[in-house]
């Protein structure tokens, strides 16, 4: 089948003899789906309306529309089929393994989804009187208690909406603490192995960001960090386990060095799922750490938001945590909105959000925690690490594992493009993997490895599922090493062929525009 420049089929393959079939663009049960504007038009509607009021009737107070709205009119069957067909072109965790490294795309237990939909959680409003949402506030307090216990920290802020938002919360608390002691520092140190949002967040808070190199084993270069610390360093933002999928064994030494220099330690806790139940960040000298609830405690990821990124604080930073916070006062729960009104918060840096937290994420996360218990959460991290190491060792004979010789990985396995035939790249392998029925792994990240491929199988995949994925990936890797030029044109079996990603980034088409011919006809 040939394609046009947009990757859409132009003509089906037909036998030389016989009449050519009518072209539809469909491929078996994968139906070609136009845009809504191409299906419907502004002259029709899928519902019946009573006749319009006379023009002189001014019930709308002068706000009557004076030009066409420009929306496509569709019947209910057209609408349902449109979105159902589009959904069949999506890859999702309910279809198969999602190997995106760093993202932790794991199965969400349906029990947690059911709990989030219980009346009293699913239908409350953030502006309800506090005395009508006591159960919800109790849930927030209980989830916060678990987060503090599991991390070994002193307090928690539940209001941040996501990981990067949690980073912002932590750095604002650090800035407030430093300013409270009259110590305005200007620099935040970020290791090369940290998450990419870390330097962006530090820059957003108007800190100057400096990078700390990684050593040959993929960890923070302790001597480089020691030599850079000084009176201008406000904090170090460190991801542990880091984006190479490795634990930082010198974490206590790093924290001691930073504290001795007068700085504070922020930990990116996005990878907490690899150590939950086994390591308490508070024991490592951490001052602030966000927790991505979707990564560790299974709440919707990607299109399922809004999210939640609670931040746990050390005792030194607790007074500077954001408002509001939930607190038990006698026999009821209160939402504390003012400084100096709570047990610990005396010098808060202020509010981060209009409303407190995200109830759907909280209820899912607590349901996940309570269904596992402490021992179950310990097994969660153990299974995540076991699965990643299984992938690492099953593929290291065909894929270069830059840090494989330094011992086991944590929650994700990191590979490079070393050994690919000339002219073939990580991108080509990823596109070939689509033809095998899998979403590609994370590509070209972390930047410390050339042609990086980061695979995170998570704890929810069985050995059988991992074996299927490993077999598919091995077959594509062998083609890349053998110089199979067809990989440059992959994928062949997706709803769209390979697109021009450079042009898509530089010249995105974000709105639908009617064709010039249609405009001329009007």
Sketch the domain layout of the chain as residue ranges.
111-367, 381-506
Mean local confidence (pLDDT), 72-95: 89
Mean local confidence (pLDDT), 74-82: 91
Mean pLDDT lowest for which of 274-278, 319-323, 493-497? Answer: 493-497
- What is the predicted pLDDT for the residue at 189? 98
Percent of the chain surpassing pLDDT 70: 90
Identical topology for domains 111-367 and 381-506? no
Percent of the chain surpassing pLDDT 90: 65
Mean pLDDT lowest for which of 42-46, 289-293, 339-343, 435-439? Answer: 339-343
Contact assessment for residue 354 and residue 102, using Cβ atoms and an 8 Å cutoff: no
In sequence order, what are the residues at sequence separation of 6 or more whose Cβ sits closer than 8 angstroms to the Cβ of residue 488?
423, 424, 428
Rounded to 5 degrees, what angle do the CA atoms 188, 193, 197 make?
60
Residue carrying structure tokens 């033809």: 435
Contact assessment for residue 443 and residue 426, using Cβ atoms and an 8 Å cutoff: yes
420-474 pLDDT per residue, tens? 999 999 999 999 999 999 999 999 999 889 999 999 999 999 999 999 999 999 9
In sequence order, what are the residues at sequence separation of 6 or more whose Cβ sits closer than 8 angstroms to the Cβ of residue 268?
163, 167, 194, 195, 197, 198, 237, 238, 239, 240, 289, 290
- What is the predicted pLDDT for the residue at 8? 52
| pTM for this entry | 0.88
- What is the predicted pLDDT for the residue at 6? 47
- What is the predicted pLDDT for the residue at 13? 45
Provide the pLDDT confidence category of residue 11 given band limits of 50, 70 and 90: very low
CA Rg, the chain, in Å? 27
Local structure of 323: helix, strand or coil: strand
Instruction: Say whether pLDDT at 21 is over 60.
Output: no
The three-state (H, E, C) secondary structure of 256-296, written as one string:
HHHHHCCCEEEEEHHHHHHCCCCCCHHHHCCCEEECCHHHH
Rounded to 5 degrees, what angle do the CA atoms 73, 511, 33 make?
55
Q: What is the mean pLDDT of the chain?
A: 89
Top CATH class of 111-367 equals alpha beta
Mean local confidence (pLDDT), 152-160: 95
> Per CATH, which fold does 381-506 belong to?
3.90.1150
Provide the pLDDT confidence category of residue 22 given band limits of 50, 70 and 90: low
Residue carrying structure tokens 């108007």: 206
Q: How far is residue 253's CA from residue 235's CA, in Å, rounded to a whole number?
A: 15
345-400 pLDDT per residue, tens? 568 999 988 888 788 999 999 999 999 999 999 999 999 999 999 999 999 999 99
Question: Beta strands 9-11 and 2-3: pairing type?
Answer: antiparallel
Q: How far is residue 347's CA from residue 317's CA, in Å, rounded to a whole number?
A: 10
Rounded to 5 degrees, what angle do the CA atoms 499, 473, 459 make?
105
Q: How far is residue 120's CA from residue 260's CA, in Å, rounded to a whole number?
A: 48
DSSP letter for each residue of 416-483: B-TTPPTT--HHHHHHHHHHTT----EES-STTSTT-EEE---TT--HHHHHHHHHHHHHHHHHHHHT
In sequence order, what are the residues at sequence separation of 6 or more whose Cβ sits closer than 8 angstroms to the Cβ of residue 44?
73
């Amino acid at each position: 089948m040939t394609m046009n420049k947009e990757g859409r089929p132009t003509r089906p393959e037909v036998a030389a003899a016989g009449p050519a079939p009518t072209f539809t663009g469909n491929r078996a049960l994968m139906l070609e789906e136009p845009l809504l504007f191409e299906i419907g038009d502004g002259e029709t509607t899928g519902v019946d309306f009573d006749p319009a009021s006379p023009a002189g009737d001014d019930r709308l107070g002068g706000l009557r529309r004076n030009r066409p709205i420009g929306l496509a009119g569709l019947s209910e069957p057209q609408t349902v089929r449109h979105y159902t067909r589009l959904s069949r072109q999506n890859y999702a965790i309910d279809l198969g393994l999602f190997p995106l490294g760093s993202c932790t795309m794991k199965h969400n237990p349906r029990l947690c989804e059911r709990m989030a939909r219980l009346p009293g959680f699913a239908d409350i409003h953030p502006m309800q009187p506090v005395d009508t949402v006591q159960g919800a506030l109790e849930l927030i307090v209980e989830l916060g208690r678990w987060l503090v216990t599991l991390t070994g920290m002193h307090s928690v802020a539940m209001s941040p909406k996501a990981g990067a938002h949690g980073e912002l919360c932590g750095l604002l608390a650090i800035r407030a603490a430093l300013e409270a002691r009259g110590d305005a520092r200007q620099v935040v140190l970020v290791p090369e192995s940290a998450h990419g949002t870390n330097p962006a967040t530090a820059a957003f808070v108007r800190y100057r960001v400096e990078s700390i190199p990684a050593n040959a084993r993929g960890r923070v270069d302790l001597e480089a960090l020691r030599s850079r610390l000084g009176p201008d360093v406000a904090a170090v933002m460190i991801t542990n386990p880091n984006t190479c999928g490795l634990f930082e064994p010198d974490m206590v030494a790093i924290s001691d060095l930073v504290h001795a220099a007068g700085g504070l330690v922020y930990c990116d806790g996005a990878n907490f799922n690899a150590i939950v139940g086994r390591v308490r960040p508070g024991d490592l000298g951490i001052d602030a750490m966000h927790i991505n609830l979707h990564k560790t405690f299974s709440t919707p990821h990607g299109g399922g938001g809004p999210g939640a990124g609670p931040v746990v604080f050390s005792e030194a930073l607790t007074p500077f945590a954001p408002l509001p916070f939930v607190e038990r006062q006698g026999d009821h729960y209160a939402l504390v909105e003012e400084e100096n009104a709570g047990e610990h918060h005396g010098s808060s840096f202020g509010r981060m959000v209009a409303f407190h937290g995200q109830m759907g994420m909280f209820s899912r996360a607590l349901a996940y925690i309570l269904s596992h218990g402490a021992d179950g959460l310990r097994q969660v991290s153990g299974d995540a690490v076991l699965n990643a190491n299984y992938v690492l060792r099953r593929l290291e004979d065909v894929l270069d594992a830059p840090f494989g010789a330094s011992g086991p990985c944590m929650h994700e396995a990191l590979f490079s493009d070393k050994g690919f035939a000339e002219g073939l790249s990580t991108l080509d392998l990823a596109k070939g993997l689509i033809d095998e029925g899998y979403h590609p792994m994370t590509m070209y990240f972390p930047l410390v490895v050339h042609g990086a491929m980061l695979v995170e199988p998570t704890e929810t995949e069985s050995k059988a599922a991992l074996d299927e994925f490993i077999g598919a990936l091995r077959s594509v890797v062998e083609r890349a090493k053998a110089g199979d030029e067809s990989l440059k044109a992959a994928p062949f079996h997706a709803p769209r062929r390979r697109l021009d990603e450079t042009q898509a980034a530089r010249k995105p088409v974000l709105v639908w525009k009617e064709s010039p011919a249609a405009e001329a006809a009007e």
